[in-house]
């Protein structure tokens, strides 16, 4: 712990953000509370065996609240290592106890981890965050990661694969730090970076993604939005906005109901740093009854933010769906009383079929 803290301070003080830190992963949504946990797993192929964690946290549910940079800090690793940890130490493994060591039989007292603290810091209360993990060098694609978010009481869970931008080294001879402030033709939002269309980017006309919407009378739908900077992603107030549109070109706001009828209008919801936007916030109240009964479909569209933070042209958007009521088939012959909890990463890759969806 002490070692890590010292390194954190040194790192923050001595290493300017433009210094190379690739390869890097973005975990766009991390959340913890007394009953919610996020388990992060990282695979590191880098022979140097280093991992750096950088959480950006906020304990406000307000969409436009800024984050706190918990500062980039080092944890030991090893080549071909897998390490898992809970972002706030809820499931502390081994003897590290509240210090936030690794999970799943990686002994926290082991020299490999040296009592490192993997958590987002001394956080109390419900907290949302995004996390950047990097390997502190510019030698190849070395990192892979996954996240599981789970409700510890009910056991509902969902997960996603961390985003690893393609072009760590987009310019020959230039250290190319992913997620950091460089003029890289659009940063990680560049079409050459998100090969699977993970970033919805207003700069590159890949800012829309098709989305289905289940009836809000029976399902809760949230859009977890993490604004993506064209430059430095280590940003506490990056600001993007989302809205619903009826077509890819975003000319018409609104959506379609389940009977193919177009509905006009959408609220534009601004997000700073990271937040969970409910579908109810996006829908004008005049459309809510339709979606409550039937659901619908449309496109999530990302715009640069205007809420006062650092305007960002892009965002990662995940759609989450929870069942808020029993699901009963129309003929009442079948019912589902368990908890559903699922997420879909909304993507667009130059409208490439299979990625953009439509």
Partner 1 sequence: MRSGFAQFGAGGLSGAARTGGRWLVPLLFFVSLLSFIGSAAADEWQVNEGAFFAKRSPELLVTTTGDAFVGYYDDHNQIIFRPYQGRPTVLNADATPGRAAGLIMAAAGDHLYAAWREQRKKETRLLLRHSPDKGKTWDEAKVIDTSTGPLTRIRMTADDSGWVYIVWLGERAASDDSSPIVNEQSFVTHGDPHARTYHIYARRSIDHGATWDPTRRLTTGYTESIWPTLIQRGKQAYSFSWSERDGKKFILFTQTPDDGGWQTPAVIREVNDVLILKPYWIGDRLLVLWLNKADKVFSIQGAFSDDSGRQWTPFAVDGNGDLDIANLELASRGQEVFVTFSARTVQRTDPWQQTVYLTRSQDGGATWRKPEVLRHDPYPYTKALYPRIAASDQAVTVVWNDFRDIRGNLYGNLSKDAGNTWLSADLPLDTPGLHNNYLDPFAGAFAQVGEQYFLLAPRYRSDSFAGAVDLILHRFTLPPQAQGNEPQTHTDSGPLPLLRETANRLWQSLLQGDYRAVYPLLDPFCRANLREVDYLASTGRIVYRRFTIKDIKVFGNVARVHVDFAYEIPELVTKQGKFSRPLTHVSAVETWVYVLDRWYKEYRNELGDFAYTRY
Minimum CB distance to partner 1 smaller for 38 or for 233: 38
CA–CA separation, 38 and 88 (whole Å): 8
Q: Considering the rule CB under 8 A, would residue 342 count as an interface residue with partner 1?
A: no
Q: Considering the rule CB under 8 A, would residue 253 count as an interface residue with partner 1?
A: yes
- Number of other residues whose CB lies within 10 A of the CB of residue 103: 21
Minimum CB distance to partner 1 smaller for 142 or for 303: 303
Tokens at residue 347, please?
Answer: 């993507």
Q: Considering the rule CB under 8 A, would residue 94 count as an interface residue with partner 1?
A: yes
Minimum CB distance to partner 1 smaller for 102 or for 187: 102
Tokens at residue 104, please?
Answer: 């799943």
Minimum CB distance to partner 1 smaller for 111 or for 331: 331
Which residues ranging from 193 to 252 are in contact with partner 1 (CB under 8 A)?
215, 217-218, 220, 222, 251-252
Which residues ranging from 154 to 183 are in contact with partner 1 (CB under 8 A)?
154-156
Which residues ranging from 259 to 278 are in contact with partner 1 (CB under 8 A)?
259-265, 267-268, 276
Size of the site for partner 1 (CB under 8 A): 70
Out of 5, 325, 342, 350, name the contact with partner 1 by CB under 8 A. Answer: 325
Q: Which residues pair with 322 in a beta bridge?
A: 220, 341
- Number of other residues whose CB lies within 10 A of the CB of residue 234: 19
Out of 12, 17, 99, 293, name the contact with partner 1 by CB under 8 A. Answer: 293
Q: What is the DSSP string of 249-294?
A: T--SBEEE-TTS-EEE----EEEESSEEEEHHHHS-HHHHHHHHHH
- CB of residue 324 vs partner 1: minimum separation in angstroms? 5
Query: 85, 32 in Cβ contact below 8 A?
Result: no
Minimum CB distance to partner 1 smaller for 172 or for 335: 335
CA–CA separation, 165 and 259 (whole Å): 39
Q: Considering the rule CB under 8 A, would residue 288 count as an interface residue with partner 1?
A: yes
Query: 75, 53 in Cβ contact below 8 A?
Result: yes
Q: Considering the rule CB under 8 A, would residue 123 count as an interface residue with partner 1?
A: no
Minimum CB distance to partner 1 smaller for 137 or for 281: 281
Find out whether the peptide bond into 23 is cis, omega within 30 degrees of 0. yes
Q: Considering the rule CB under 8 A, would residue 33 count as an interface residue with partner 1?
A: yes
Of 225, 323, 228, the C-alpha closest to 277 is: 225
Out of 24, 36, 42, 213, name the contact with partner 1 by CB under 8 A. Answer: 36
Tokens at residue 289, please?
Answer: 């009854």
Q: Which residue has the tokens 């569209």?
A: 301
For the chain, what is the radius of gyration of the CA atoms?
Answer: 20
CA–CA separation, 91 and 88 (whole Å): 8
Query: 76, 49 in Cβ contact below 8 A?
Result: yes
Only one of the segments 41-49, 137-145, 171-179, 254-262 lies at the binding site for partner 1 (rule: CB under 8 A); that segment is 254-262
Q: Considering the rule CB under 8 A, would residue 294 count as an interface residue with partner 1?
A: yes
Residues that bind partner 1 (CB under 8 A): 31, 33-36, 61, 63, 90-94, 97-98, 103-105, 126, 149-156, 215, 217-218, 220, 222, 251-254, 259-265, 267-268, 276, 281, 284-290, 293-294, 320, 322, 324-328, 330-332, 335, 337-339, 341
């Amino acid at each position: 712990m002490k070692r890590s803290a010292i390194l954190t301070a040194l790192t923050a003080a001595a290493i300017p953000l433009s210094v190379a830190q690739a390869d890097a992963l973005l975990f766009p949504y991390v959340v913890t509370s007394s009953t919610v946990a996020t388990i992060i797993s990282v695979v590191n192929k880098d022979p140097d065996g280093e991992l750096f964690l950088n959480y950006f946290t906020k304990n406000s549910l307000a969409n436009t609240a800024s984050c706190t940079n918990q500062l980039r800090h080092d944890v030991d690793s090893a080549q071909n290592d897998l390490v898992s940890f809970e972002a706030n130490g809820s499931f502390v493994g081994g003897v590290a106890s509240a210090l936030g060591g690794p999970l799943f039989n990686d002994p926290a007292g082991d020299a490999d981890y040296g009592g490192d603290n993997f958590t987002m810091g001394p956080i109390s209360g419900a907290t949302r965050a995004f996390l950047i993990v990097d390997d502190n060098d510019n030698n190849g694609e070395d990192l892979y990661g996954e996240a599981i978010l789970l409700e510890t009481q009910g056991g509902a869970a969902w997960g996603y694969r961390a985003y690893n931008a393609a072009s760590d080294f987009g310019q020959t001879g230039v250290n190319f730090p992913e997620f950091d402030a460089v003029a890289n033709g659009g940063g990680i939002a560049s079409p050459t970076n998100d090969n699977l269309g993970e970033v919805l980017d207003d700069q590159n006309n890949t800012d829309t993604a098709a989305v289905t919407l289940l009836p809000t009378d029976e399902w809760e739908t949230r859009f977890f939005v993490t604004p993506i900077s064209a430059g430095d992603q280590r940003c506490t107030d990056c600001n993007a906005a989302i809205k619903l549109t009826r077509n890819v070109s975003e000319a018409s706001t609104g959506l379609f109901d389940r009977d193919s009828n177009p509905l006009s209008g959408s609220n534009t919801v601004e997000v700073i740093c990271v937040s969970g936007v409910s579908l109810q916030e996006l829908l004008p109240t005049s459309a809510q009854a339709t979606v409550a009964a039937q659901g619908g479909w449309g496109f999530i569209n990302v715009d640069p933010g205007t809420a006062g933070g650092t305007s960002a042209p892009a965002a990662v958007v995940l759609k989450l769906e929870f069942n808020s009521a029993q699901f009963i088939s129309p003929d009442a012959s079948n019912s589902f009383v368990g908890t559903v909890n699922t997420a879909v990463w909304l993507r667009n890759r130059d409208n490439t079929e299979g990625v953009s969806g439509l």
